[in-house]
Amino acid sequence: MDNQIKNITNKYLNSKHRLMDIFHDIQKKSGYISENDIKSISELLNISSVDVIQTLSFYHFFKKKENAKYNIYINESIVAQMYGHKRILQAFENATKTKLNSISADGNFGLYSTSDIGMGDQEPAAIINGVIFPKITTYRVKEIIKEFRKGKSAQDLVNSFGDGHNQDNLIRSMVSNNLNRRGRVIFSGYNSEDALDIIVDKTPEEILHVIKESNIRGRGGAGFPIGLKWQYCRQATGKTKYIVCNADEGEPGTFKDRVLLTELPKRVIVGMIIAAYAVGASKGIIYLRKEYDYLIPYLKNSLTEAEKNNLLGESIKGRKGFNFDIRIQLGGGAYVCGEETALLESCEGKRGEPRNRPPFPIEKGFLDNPTVINNVESLCAIPKIICKGAEWYRSLGTKQSSGTKLLSISGDVLYPGVFEVEWGMTIKDIIDMAGGLDTKAVQVGGPSGKLISKKEFSRRIAYEDLSTGGAIIVFNKTRNILDIVMNFTKFFIDESCGSCAPCRYLTVILKNKLQKIIDGKGVENDLLELKEWGKKMKIANRCGLGQSAANPILTSLENFRSDYEDAVQSDKKYISSFDLEKSILAGAKAASRFPAV
Amino acid sequence: MNKPIIATTSLAGCFGCHMSILDIDDKILELIELVDFNKSPITDIKKFTRTVDIGIIEGGCCNSENIHILKYFRDNCKTLVSLGECAIMGGLPAMRNNIPIEECLKEAYLDGPSTHNPEGIMPNDEELPILLNKVYPCHEIVKIDYFLPGCPPRADLIWDALTALVTGEEMKLEYGVFKYD
């Protein structure tokens, strides 16, 4: 057996729950995970090879076949599309002399598409061998490929650093923060470590009380009260409790966690420590999306620093019995892993398929232990609440939505980037703040959220009105609503885990119907069917991804009905999208026939 | 009043649905009192001799001829009914939809374990219809007015549907009618 594999699995104590890490290590060494590797892993971990393969095949950044020397993943999100994704893709195809989803003849270049990589404020962007290339132009494509042909590495081609800590020696990335507005909580100036000095003199119950009083709710999108979640987990029985930081922001259009992890990793860590203290947890996991793995050395260093300063480890801040440590779990490229139970499955080395709930993670989470899963932004806000108190925090925002919210604003605005605002701001003010002109539509909360039109621009972002995880994509009047909806619908098809049949099939049927309409072959009845079938998605799928996969279609049908009506032929009752000539091509060729239809 | 006229055909089906039509047993005598048949395997009439009231389609579309026949039916039938799983969803024949047509033909005519074809000839007579890239359900080709599910649809369901169509009375759709596993 290969000694290299043995060393790697040994490093993870031959635990099947560390399958993700084992794959990452092997892929880093040899570029892909071979049949032999799979056999070795299954023997060493004492699991069947099918178990290895099912995890391996789930994540799109893992490769089972020999990889190219340079693997180019081009972002295909809607914002990338608006900023010239097609042009860039063509430029890459021409320069590398290869087609999308294939490897060039010389084995040098592999060209792939990927869902939103969290760079909505600097599109079009691509990931090449783990290095992020933002704001790519066709000129830059030629330059990159030319240099690669000379043997340069992707890191060699970093020709400028972004702002802030992107310039840190451990990051050295071209990514920019585009932090356009600092607010009074998350991006305010204070020392988050002060919060730890405060908590060690108090009981966990007192901390729970403050968090509950502050009325802070989860920032991932669902908005569950954080204090309650912590309290339930504290009350749950279990020897080892876990705090998991959900840094798998995959919702197209969101990129705030990227900036938080770059600029304020310590506040995230302190937030986790406070959670651990309040809940009585001893272990922490940061689940980081694969797209952000350029931040790993920097984040690991932040954890080491925290250990050195006795913020992590044993007897934290001198308080006996307060032990907590954190490890980073890297994902493999799957949007659905942002769903908390899918995330847990992934942490356990399995396919990222959502679990049935109940039981909820607070009772049976990571390896069936009581687990709190919080968004990066939620955790980042906690230290400030501890420092300034619940009442102060409640004075910000609205009645049901206290505090501030980070917005990731992208699309047709002059100043795309991250904005920290108080809850309660109107969509109109948000557009004006980011410099949107001639705005026709705004996608609030990413594809799983709502596409709203002008008549709703006076609505406010707040749990009592428009709740959101913070992704705001702005579209001006030149944009075609149906193209936007198509992009989002394809996204859900790509990212469905395939577990629930409606999410697996109906998404494709809906896409085909939408394509029929875009092709000018739609009739009134197609709109009716889109709506009726779309509604079924809400009741027939297990997780949020499936339940919201038809949201782009449903909300645009509601708010942009006339765009659809203009596209369908209203005088016809039925149009088929079937094309006989095209459909017999393959069959005729296979039988060596060249017929007249 | 003239009797309503019915036409039927089997496209990419197994004739099981037609067997189910015959399975209405002695009610077939009643049916003949009620309706006339035009183009149908039952009458062996090859071409429509007039426009008919109800067309019943068994099977989906797997080749070019199926498409022509289906369109021919749509042009000559006032109401068109998809009868059975294959017409509605493609059915068993659609299991080939995930396999490229080249592979299907190779397996059937060149590589199959019981195949003897030393010259390696694929069926290519110009009289033969050409296979489509996929098997299509009928409603993707033409407008279908009604769907009767089942594999095959139960005889009673066919009877009830036909009498409802002929008499214009609303059809009772109880749960038992759709129990077809």
Q: Which residues of A touch B130 (CB under 8 A)?
A: 584, 587-588, 591, 593, 595
Q: Please say whether the beta carbons of A330 and A320 come within 8 A.
A: no
pLDDT band at B29 (very low <50, low <70, confident <90, very high): confident
Cα–Cα distance for residue pair A458/A375, rounded to 1 Å: 28
Which residue reads 């995930």 in tokens?
B98
In a domain, B168, yes or no: yes
Separation CA A376–CA B17 (nearest Å): 59
Token reading at B78: 């006032």
Residue type for A380, please? C
* Chain A environment of B100 (Cβ under 8 Å): 586
At residue A69's C-alpha, the angle toward residues A66 and A75, to 5°, is 95
* Local confidence band at B25 (pLDDT 50, 70, 90 cut-offs): confident
Other residues' Cβ atoms within 10 Å of the Cβ of residue A116 = 29
User: Cα separations (Å) of B181 from A529, B22, B84?
Assistant: 26, 21, 13
pLDDT by residue for chain A (597 residues), tens digit each?
A: 678 899 999 999 999 999 999 999 999 988 899 999 999 999 999 999 999 999 999 999 999 988 899 999 999 999 999 999 999 999 999 999 999 999 999 999 999 999 999 999 999 999 999 999 999 999 999 999 999 999 999 999 999 999 999 999 999 999 999 999 999 999 999 999 999 999 999 999 999 999 999 999 999 888 999 999 999 999 999 999 999 999 999 999 999 999 999 999 999 999 999 999 999 999 999 999 999 999 999 999 999 999 999 999 999 999 999 999 999 999 999 999 999 999 999 999 999 999 998 999 999 999 999 999 999 999 999 999 999 999 999 999 999 999 999 999 999 999 999 999 999 999 999 999 999 999 999 999 999 999 999 999 999 999 999 999 999 999 999 999 999 999 999 999 999 999 999 999 999 999 999 999 999 999 999 999 999 999 999 999 988 899 999 999 999 999 999 999 999 999 999 999 999 999 999 999 988 887 654
Tell me the average pLDDT across B156-160. 88
C-alpha pair distances (Å), A15 with each of A10, A48, A170 = 9, 13, 29
Residue B28 resides in a domain:
yes
| pLDDT attached to residue B63 | 95
| Chain B touched by A585 (CB under 8 Å) | yes
Report domain A181-394's class. Answer: alpha beta
Amino acid at A175: V
- CATH 3.40.30.10 domain extents, chain A: 70-160
Interface list for chain B against chain A, based on CB atoms closer than 8 Å: 63-64, 67, 100-102, 105-106, 122-124, 126, 130-134, 136, 140-143
Cβ-in-10-Å burial (0-12, 13-18, 19+) of A367 comes to middle
Please indicate whether, in this complex, the C-beta atoms of A590 and B102 are within 8 angstroms of each other: yes
What DSSP letter does each residue of A184-243 carry, written as one string?
A: SSTTS---THHHHHHHTTS-HHHHHHHHHHHT-B-TTSS--BHHHHHHHHHHS--SS-EE
Q: Which of A574, A582, A587 sits opposite B130 (nearest CB)?
A: A587
Q: pLDDT tens across B164-175, in order?
A: 998 888 888 877
DSSP label of B123: P
**Cβ contacts of B141 on chain A, cutoff 8 Å:** 576, 578
Under CATH, to which class is A404-479 assigned?
alpha beta
Where along chain A do the CATH 1.20.1440.230 domains lie?
A: 482-567
Q: List the B77-83 sheet strands across, edge first.
A: B36-37, B5-10, B52-58, B77-83, B146-148
Confirm whether B104 is domain-assigned: no
In chain A, CATH 3.40.50.11540 sits at 181-394
Sign of CA dihedral A240, A243, A246, A247: negative
Q: Chain B contact for A455, CB < 8 A?
A: no
Radius of gyration of chain B (CA): 18
Q: Has residue B128 been placed in a domain?
A: no
d(CA A306, CA A298): 12
CA B88 to CA B136: how far, in whole Å? Answer: 9
Report how far residue A263's alpha carbon sits from residue A192's, in angstroms, rounded to the nearest whole number. Answer: 13
Q: Which pLDDT value is given to residue A179?
A: 96
Calculate the dihedral angle through the C-alpha atoms of B47, B49, B53, B59, rounding to the nearest 10 degrees.
-10
Tell me the CATH number at B25. 3.40.50.700
| CATH 3.10.20.600 placement within chain A | 404-479
Contact state of B122 with A583 under an 8 Å Cβ cutoff:
no
**Which of A573, A583, A595 has its CB closest to that of B132?**
A583
Instruction: Tell me the C-alpha distance between A302 and A261, whole Å.
Output: 10
Identify the residue among A506, A525, A529, A584 best suited for mutation to test binding to B, counting B beta carbons within 10 A and taking the highest. A584
Q: How does residue B179 score in pLDDT terms, banded at 50, 70 and 90?
A: low
**Strand pairing category for B61-63 and B36-37:** unpaired
Give chain B's domain count.
1
Where do runs of H (alpha helix) occur along chain B? 16-22, 27-34, 64-76, 85-89, 101-106, 155-167
Q: Which CATH architecture has domain A482-567?
A: Up-down Bundle (1.20)
**DSSP three-state, residue A154:** coil
As a whole number of angstroms, the distance between CA B68 and CA A236 comes to 67
CATH superfamily of A70-160: Glutaredoxin (3.40.30.10)
Long-range CB pairs of A176-180 (<8 Å, 24+ gap) are A176/A121, A176/A122, A176/A134, A177/A259, A177/A262, A177/A263, A177/A417, A177/A418, A178/A121, A178/A122, A178/A259, A178/A415, A178/A416, A178/A417, A178/A418, A179/A259, A179/A263, A179/A417, A179/A418, A180/A415, A180/A417, A180/A418, A180/A419, A180/A434
Residue found by looking up tokens 């909806």 in the block: A485
Using CB atoms, pick whichever of B126, B133, B141 lies closest to residue A587. Answer: B133
CB contact under 8 Å between B123 and A597, yes or no, is no
Q: What is the mean pLDDT of residues B121-139?
A: 93
B122 closest CB neighbour out of A576, A583, A590: A590
What's the rounded Cα separation, in Å, for the pair A374 and A30?
Answer: 35
Facing residue for B130 by CB, picked from A573, A576, A595: A595
Domain of B75 in residue numbering reads as 5-97+134-178
